[in-house]
Structure 1
Amino acid sequence: MSANIRVNIINLYLIKFSKWFNLIMPVIVLFYQDNGLSMQDIFWLKSIYSVAIVVMEIPSGYLADVWGRKKTLLLGGILGASGFALYSFSFGFLAFAIAEIILGIGHSFVSGADSAMLYDTLKSSNRNQEYIKQEGWITSAGNFAEAIAGVCGGLLATLSLRLPFYVQFGVAAVAIPAALFLREPKTHAVNTKKKFSSILRTVKQTFCHRQLRSALMVSSFTGTASLTFAWFVQPYFQEAGLPISLFGVMWTLLNLSVGVSSMFSYKAERLLGQRNSLLVIIIGLSLGYFLAAWEVSLAGIGMLFFFYTLRGIAHPILKDYINRYTQSDVRATILSLRNFVIRINFAIIGPLLGYFTDRFSLRVALLVAGLGYLLSGLAGMLPLWRESIKEKDKAHRMP
Structure 2
Amino acid sequence: MHYNLRSNIINLYIIKISKWFMLIMPIVVLFYNAHGLSMHEVFILQAIYSVSIVAWEIPSGYVADVIGRRKSMIIGAVLGFLGYFFYSFSYGFLGFMVAEIVLGIGQSMISGADSALLYDSLIHAKKEEEYNRYEGLTTSIGNFAEAFGGIAGGLLAVLSVRYPYYAQAFVAFWAIPASFLLVEPPLKTERPKLNWTDIFGIIKETLHSNPKQKWNTLFSSFTGASTLTMAWIAQPYFKGANLSVEWYGIVWTILNLVVGISSAYAFRVEKRFGPIATVTGFTVLLSLSYIFLGMKVWLPGLSFLLLFYIARGIATPTLKDYVNRITESSVRATVLSIRNFTIRIIFAVMGPIYGWCIDLYGLQSALFLAGILYSIFNFTTLYYFIKYRTFE
- Normalising by the residue count of structure 1, what TM-score does the alignment of the two structures yield? 0.88
The offset of 1:326, in angstroms, is: 1.2
Task: Give the 4+ runs in structure 1 shifted more than 6 A.
Answer: none
Superposed displacement of residue 210, structure 1 = 1.4
Match of 2:87 in 1: 87
The answer to whether the 8 A contact 1:274-1:388 is kept is: no
How big is the shift at 1:251?
A: 1.5
> Separation in 2 of the partners of 1:199 and 1:188?
22
Matched, 1:299 2:320: no
Corresponding position of 1:55: 55
Distance 1:108 1:388, change over 3 A: closer
Number of aligned residue pairs: give it: 388
1:39 aligns with 2:40: no
Give the equivalent residue in structure 1 for 2:270. 269
Q: Which residue of 2 aligns with 1:211?
A: 212
Q: Does 1:244 align with 2:245?
A: yes
Structure 1 CA distance, aligned partners of 2:45 and 2:391? 49
Show CA shifts across 1:44-95 (max 9, x none).
6544433321211111111111111000001101111122233345566655
Deviation at 1:237, TM superposition (A): 2.3
Assess if the C-alpha contact under 8 Å between 1:188 and 1:328 holds in 2. Answer: no
The residue that corresponds to 2:102 in the other structure is 102
What percent of counterpart residues are identical? 47
For the residues of structure 1 that align with 2:243 and 2:33, how far apart are their CA atoms?
24
Q: C-alpha distance in 1, partners of 2:28/2:288?
A: 32
Partners of 2:29 and 2:235 within 8 A in 1: no
Q: Rg: which structure is higher?
A: 1
Change (3 A) 1:280 1:94: closer
Q: In structure 1, what residue type is equivalent to 2:303?
A: G
Unaligned runs of 5+ in 1: 392-399
Deviation at 1:15, TM superposition (A): 0.6
AA in 1 matched with 2:210: H
Structure 1 residues 230 and 24: alpha-carbon distance in aligned structure 2, compared to 1, 3 A threshold: closer
Q: Distance in 2 between matches of 1:390 and 1:326?
A: 11
Q: What residue identity is the alignment partner of 1:210?
A: P
1:299 partner SS: helix
**Of 239-248 and 15-24, the range deviating more from structure 2:** 239-248
CA separation of 1:30 and 1:183: change in aligned 2, threshold 3 A: same
- Rate the CA distance shift 1:271–1:357 in 2: closer, same or farther, 3 A: same
Corresponding residue of 2:71: 71
> Per the alignment, do residues 49 and 376 of structure 1 end up closer, same or farther by CA in structure 2, a change over 3 Å counting?
closer
1:169 aligns with 2:174: no
Q: Deviations over 1:283-338 (max 9, x none)?
A: 22223223223343222211110111111011111111111111112111111111
Q: Which 10-residue stretch deviates more, 337-346 or 148-157?
A: 148-157
Q: CA deviation at 1:152?
A: 1.1
Provide the residue aligned with 2:378 in structure 1: 377
Q: 1:394 — aligned with what?
A: none
**TM-score with structure 2 length normalisation?**
0.89
CA displacement, residues 336-391 of structure 1 (integer Å, 9 cap, x when unaligned): 11111111111222233344445555334323322322222222133432344999
Deviation per CA, 1:85-131: give whole Å up to 9, x if none: 33345566655443332222111111111111111111222211111
Q: Which residue is 1:23 aligned to?
A: 23
Gapped regions of structure 2 (runs ≥ 5): none
Alpha-carbon distance in 2 for matches of 1:390, 1:220: 15
